[in-house]
Structure 1
Amino acid sequence: MTIRNAKSGRITRLWHAAAIFLFLLWTVKPLHASNYSCGNPSVGHCYADAVWQEKPQYFGAFSSILQIGMNCPGNCGGFINNEMWLSDYQSRDCVSNAFQACWVEAGYHAFSGEGNPYYFWADSRPLTSNTYNNHFLNQADAADFTHFMIIQDARGAAGTYQVWIYNDSQSVLFNGTSTSNTMSANAVIIGTELAGTTGASALPSQFQMNIWAVKPLGSDYTFWYNTQVDKGSDTSQSPPTGSWLIDPSLSGSNGGIFTTNCCG
């Protein structure tokens, strides 16, 4: 698939701004909080995230997320993940489902007692049954950026979203399809989600090249996008913690760089 800037019309190569931040992988140890109150795997989660809800509709989203050391031991009572969401909080059939929202999400996820995190994607659809489905894939690569892409697919049946997960070398490539999903996304979210009560840990990560699709995927098979140009609204519930390393409003920031870590 081609990724093309909707304003300039130029093909934009994925790039890794502020690469010096990588030294944290080798110099910073995971932080451990003895106790925290972030619900259970189903409800009450804690977040460090950035949320954009400025456009009437987002047809897709993309973020490059740094894969880092992450763990949730057998007694953690939940999970921890880094991910991106494309979400609908306004459509009638979405606000009336079990979660009062629809979304498609993708990232990497460490759950209780499983050691290394796994790539995953999931969706919550405007249905009365089978509303939420989670898809765990292979173990996540270490110390690399992985690119996560979600886009509405207008080439066939209505209510279809495509999900791609890959790295620069294409050595990891997954594709998923969310069907029967007629949401009209009004939010893009990036960040860390934490569930449980103790022991989870995650090294500092970064979310960069934060962009959104200006139209659905069509016959040209092109992801037409604009970059995020402001911070949106951000949350840091400590744990997890999050902040902007590079402001998206800066010229050439390519959507800024958001950082998160857990759980000190």
Structure 2
Amino acid sequence: MPADQPTILATSGGYQRGKRVDVEFNSLIHHAVELAGVSGRAPRITHIGTAGGDSREWNFRFTEAARLAGFESTCLNLFTMPNVEDMEAHLLEQDVVWVNGGSVVNLLAVWRAHGLDGMLRRAWESGVVLSGVSAGSLCWFQGGATDSFGPELRPVTDALGFLPYGNGVHYDSEEQRRPLIHKMVSDGQLGETHCTDDGVGLVYAGTRLVKAVSEVPGKGAYIVQARAGESVDAVAVEERIEPRLLDAPA
């Protein structure tokens, strides 16, 4: 049962410390499933951990968290080779694709080598909800700030571009994020850029931002745009968006 329109939930969250297992799903992952409109059966969600090198430990954590949530989960691995024969068919069978964090630069290179970028676009256009955290958020946009190259954040501007904006993740928890996003916007490396504090997600219907949601009280989302300054140089202007607080998972 696909969503009724192409849908992306781009986040800086999704997990919480578990009671019975190491990690459990927090409200943002549950909201991704709600956006898919599943009823009458267990939701199908696949985890793509390319950005973390397809860590089998994270695969296990995700599978355990999905079991506790009542979801039917799979993991799509690309290391050392794809673990399913027909990756596109696999994606089209899902309700939600969740992309985990790590190196967005490595993720993009590996996805493009396997043609997964085109498969994900077709899944999105078919109503499979695309979602993820950190690198799994940034990948859907035109670019943003990344630590893929080392501790000093650097720009990346060749992401998938399903959404025609820049993206800033971990906006309140990593001190280099906000200044670099502002510089990239004022320099013209990024156009309008949408940012999330930890625990916040942005929902897009097609390419239109329709709402911000949060699993943590008091957190924010932001739109950063370039405006003409007093000199010839543009300056970045930031507008805060108040997210709707999601209910805690049952």
Q: TM-score, normalised by structure 2?
A: 0.30
Q: TM-score, normalised by structure 1?
A: 0.29
Structure with bigger RCO (C-alpha 8 Å, 6+ apart): 1
Q: 1 or 2, which has the higher strand percentage?
A: 1
Q: 1 or 2, which has the higher helix percentage?
A: 2
